[in-house]
Amino acid sequence: MLRRLFIGCAGVALAAGLAAAQPSVRVEPATLQGPRALAEQTANSVIQDYLQSWRSLSVALDQNNPELLDADFTGDAKSKLAETIREQAALGMSTHYQDLTHDVQIVFYSPEGLSLELTDMVQYEVQLFDHGKPEPKQQVRARYVVMLTPAQVRWRVRVFQALPGD
Amino acid sequence: MRLLAFFASGLALGVAPLAFAQSGNLTLPKAVEAGAAFSIATAGSGKATLYIAGLGQVVKRQVDLGQTVNFPVGTLYSAGRYVVVLQGDQEPESGEFDVVPAKGVAELSFLARPSRLPVGLHDAITGAVYVFDAYKNLMVAPTPVSFELSGPSGAAQKRTVVTRFGAAWTEFDSTARQGADKFVANAGAASTRRVISQVPGDPCGLTMTAKRDGKQVELQTAPIRDCSGNPVPDGEVVTFTASFGDDQSTADVPIKGGIAKIDMPIQDGALISVASGVVMGNQIRWEK
């Protein structure tokens, strides 16, 4: 109960700390499966690093520069995003992603502490550019499931996938 | 009941590629299975460019409006949400659809810990599994994963856990016998194995005897075993302590051949004790 309260409060703090131009962020109390307790500091770090990963992917896909993914992504998530960037570049395209709102909930912390999973009901705008020519903006609302693993100084996104049908 | 609801939603996803959503001149599938062929119907006339963009893939095609655009097997294989834009001479059309993971577990990511631990500990071995399809998409539909931990004697602990958001975990006791245990996770046709090395626990029932050996006293333990009867390995340290008034002398002796043994000078009337780690053995009052 105490842990849920901590994480709920952390969400309020996160939202209040973000500037107006930033997406609004709501953090739901964690509904953890698994025996490992989640410290408040860990939960906050994970969410901060995850939100940062949206900024990274947005810039990387905007500039067609896969190196900008290095700090925040690893494993299959990084490979798939890098492949998308290569495809875009080959087609003369780029994409601008702007996350608008996040509703984040941590759902799994593996017993050995080497992975953590969260879901995020995220609203974002997508705008395609074909040889610099903008296509109409499209607003998307999708629930993502995200798996993160700890690196030396931060959590990195290893799986990043929209759930179907929401 | 909740499990049934999960499976029902999974089945619904399975038939989703058959459903379509129409938006103006575009008729899109609601969902496409990763790697499967699909089509997008267009209306009108003239030429247009069709864009399909997601965080996992991007596709661009020149199309003739009024035709159905067919995408062969393997075109989209990265699960996620895709936006679609049809740009022709008129107002652009847009929509979105999902690519869902392919059927059948192809790969397990299995985290098993620890790799080495003492025997006889409760819930000390943990395993966590993430399930993936053949395209490395996380399989988010509930999927049963069976875990099995078997020791050298062949006795096994088994448990089946249904994934939630593609993840499942379990914990097992370490077994009573030292040796290499097999920790296996299975889901569908995928199987992954880890080896957990179980070593003897702390000594149990540590006892020693004392006898005069010239001017010294020979101290020797009985064969040292843990509480499950496994011999404690050579090299573990046993500490003998002799106390007399304020004087105390100690000797750290590594186990060799299953026992610890040393000759110590000991005064008459001294209290001799033996210990290994946090485990205390018997005490002997040394008298001539």
According to DSSP H, which parts of chain B are helical? 2-15
Residue carrying the six token digits 């008298």? B287
Cα A54 to Cα A72: distance, rounded to the nearest angstrom:
9
pLDDT at B188 over 60: yes
Cα B26 to Cα B69: distance, rounded to the nearest angstrom:
10
Q: Tell me the shortest Cα–Cα distance from B12 to chain A, in angstroms.
A: 10
Architecture category of domain B107-199 in CATH: Sandwich (2.60)
Q: Which amino acid is at B98?
A: D
CATH of the domain at A132: 3.10.450.240
Q: Work out whether strand B247-254 and strand B208-213 pair parallel, antiparallel, or are unpaired.
A: unpaired
Q: What ipTM, to 2 d.p.?
A: 0.87
Every domain of chain B and the residues it spans: 2-100, 107-199, 208-285
pLDDT at B74 over 60: yes
Across A22-26, B41-45, B158-162, B212-216, least confident range: B212-216
What percent of chain A stands above pLDDT 70?
87
Question: Is A140 touching B (CB cutoff 8 A)?
Answer: yes
Cα B166 to Cα B168: distance, rounded to the nearest angstrom:
7
B51:A162 CB<8 A: no
Q: Which residue, among B194, B197, B196, B174, has the nearest Cα to B184 in the 3D structure? A: B194
Question: Is A164 touching B (CB cutoff 8 A)?
Answer: yes
**Do B2-100 and B107-199 come out as alike in CATH topology?**
yes
Cα A59 to Cα A13: distance, rounded to the nearest angstrom:
26
Number of domains in chain A: 1
- The helix/strand/coil state of B269 is coil
Cα B169 to Cα B159: distance, rounded to the nearest angstrom:
10
A84:B54 CB<8 A: yes
B83:A138 CB<8 A: yes
A164:B98 CB<8 A: yes
Provide CB contacts within 8 A for A19, sequence distance 6+.
none
Chain A hits for B194, CB-CB cut-off 8 Å, are none
- pLDDT at site B21: 58
Q: List the domain range (segments joined by +) for residue A72.
A: 2-162
Q: Tell me the shortest Cα–Cα distance from B38 to chain A, in angstroms.
A: 16
Average the pLDDT over A78-102 and give the result: 97
Provide CB contacts within 8 A for B213, sequence distance 6+.
B263
Architecture category of domain B2-100 in CATH: Sandwich (2.60)
Cα B13 to Cα B34: distance, rounded to the nearest angstrom:
12
Chain B hits for A164, CB-CB cut-off 8 Å, are 13, 16, 31, 79, 98, 100, 140
Architecture category of domain B208-285 in CATH: Sandwich (2.60)
